[in-house]
Amino acid sequence: MDQQEFKERLLKIMESKHHAAWSAFTSGQVQRDKLHIHLEQEYATYVRDFPVLVARAYVNCPIASVRRELIENVYEEETGGLAAGRPHPELFLEVPRGLAMDLSRFEAVQLLPASARYRAFLDAATASDWDVGAAVTTLFVEGTRYERGELEPDAPKRPQPPLEKHPLVLHYGLSVEALALTRAHRKVEGEHRAAAWRTLLGSVAPDRRQAVVDAVAGALRHWLLYRDGVAAACGVPNVASGAAP
């Protein structure tokens, strides 16, 4: 496939990165005593180890310019040294801390079955060729359904409402100060999105494009099933994505 088709197929996949249950989480419908399940699964499935997942693509990459993009991402995620001031996984834990959750639960999370399968997919993908690892981490995991807005000026952009309007603040009483990770992401994500697309469109060989598309499509399938499992565990009814197992 040519570069334009490659880009369009990736964009179409990313535009499907949305789960019907998310509105229950953003409108406060999830019971407070179930909310910890969602946060624990997010943390253990990818947040805690995201720097490691990206670093695997870095180690496997033979292209110096791409390695520089990837290691900058790793450095920020692992240390917060470019924007956040603290490692991003640590900043994530400010949310459950701010909600007065038992943080010891985050030290030994039991993954739900679909969460474990999604994590196994991420591990396999990032242990594969560098382009697959980079696409799955920097495009799919870090990206949103608004990726087209990162590339096309007239496409919808990622919403960035005031932190005071964040669902956890509005519906669960979280302090705005606990949203340190959200603030950090808003500082660096524009460049992270640009770097992801520069890498994929500029450095993935034509004969590797199909493998990358297939990997990102696989990430979407596993993510939707992962979200199915989290929603069910949090008591959100009738929201199965219909993704094939």
pTM of the predicted structure, to 2 decimals:
0.92
Report the C-alpha gap between 156 and 192 in whole angstroms.
18
**pLDDT score for 124:** 97
Q: What is the DSSP letter of 164?
A: G
**pLDDT score for 85:** 82
**pLDDT score for 186:** 85
Tens of pLDDT, residues 45-81: 999 999 999 999 999 999 999 999 999 999 999 998 7
**pLDDT score for 240:** 62
Q: For the chain, give percent helix, strand, coil, nearest 5.
A: 70, 0, 30
Contact 130, 211 (CB under 8 A): no
* Mean pLDDT, the chain, whole residue set: 93
Residue 239 confidence class, pLDDT cut points 50, 70, 90: low
Q: Is the pLDDT of residue 38 over 70?
A: yes
**pLDDT score for 35:** 94
Phi, psi for residue 11 in degrees, rounded to 5: -60, -40
Tens of pLDDT, residues 148-197: 999 999 999 988 899 999 999 999 999 999 999 998 888 877 777 899 99
Task: Write out the two tokens for 91.
Answer: 């900043």
Contact 97, 178 (CB under 8 A): yes
In three state form, how does the secondary structure of 47-100 look? HCCHHHHHHHHHHHCCCHHHHHHHHHHHHHHHHCCCCCCCCHHHHHCHHHHHCC
Q: Is the pLDDT of residue 138 over 90?
A: yes
Residue 238 confidence class, pLDDT cut points 50, 70, 90: low
